[in-house]
């Protein structure tokens, strides 16, 4: 899940280029939560921002999971089926199959949607466990990257420990 709460990022600028980058990093079926006054749709400017943001989200094949007050939660598709159903010529286009969605360093942000790998989609769709089990279950994509489930479990333990420490350090979590 990615959560933006009054973060002052214009997600719809340049046809949603920043949201495309977040989308590239997000798992299939992931959530993008936006808490912002434009979700209220109270005045002309808010309505314009909401219309632009909703347009980008729809072209990314996002569906609204929930909307209440100033908060809206969009869900990323869990298969490529939704991308294939988009009308021909819809922007942003799908990325080329030669683009590496896992590249992380010194990579320009691209104005295209990174679909899930054809291998994973063919074998098992997103293959993710239902929430909240997916937080501690290795995603099938790791097989394609030759990352063992044991490595994922070890990393999960390390990051859970770090997360608990941070929450305790700021007084949010119980120190028991």
SS3 156: helix
- Report pLDDT for 120: 52
Per-residue tokens: 89? 């010529």
Would residue 19 count as lying in a domain?
A: yes
**pTM of the entire predicted model:** 0.66
User: What was the pLDDT predicted at 150?
Assistant: 92
Residue 70: phi and psi, rounded to 5, are -95, 10
Number of domains in the chain: 1
Task: Give the torsion sign (CA, 20, 24, 27, 33).
Answer: negative
Q: Which residues span the domain enclosing 75? A: 2-125
> Residue 124: CB partners within 8 Å, gap ≥ 6?
140
Whether residue 145 lies inside any domain: the answer is no
Residue 158 in any domain: the answer is no
Cα Rg for the chain, rounded, in angstroms?
18
Residues of the chain scoring pLDDT < 50: 124
């Amino acid at each position: 899940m990615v959560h933006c709460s009054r973060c002052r990022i214009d997600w719809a600028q340049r046809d949603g280029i920043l949201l495309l980058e977040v989308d590239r990093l997000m798992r299939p079926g992931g959530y993008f939560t936006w808490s912002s006054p434009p979700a209220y749709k109270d005045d002309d400017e808010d309505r314009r921002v909401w219309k632009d943001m909703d347009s980008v989200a729809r072209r990314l094949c996002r569906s609204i999971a929930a909307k209440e007050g100033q908060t809206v939660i969009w869900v990323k598709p869990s298969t490529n089926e939704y991308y294939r159903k988009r009308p021909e010529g819809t922007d942003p286009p799908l990325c080329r199959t030669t683009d590496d969605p896992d590249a992380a360093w010194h990579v320009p942000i691209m104005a295209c949607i990174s679909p899930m790998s054809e291998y994973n989609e063919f074998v098992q769709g997103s293959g993710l466990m239902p929430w909240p089990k997916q937080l501690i279950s290795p995603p099938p994509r790791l097989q394609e990257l030759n990352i063992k489930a044991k490595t994922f479990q070890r990393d999960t333990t390390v990051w859970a420990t770090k997360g608990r420490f941070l929450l305790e350090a700021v007084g949010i979590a119980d120190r028991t």
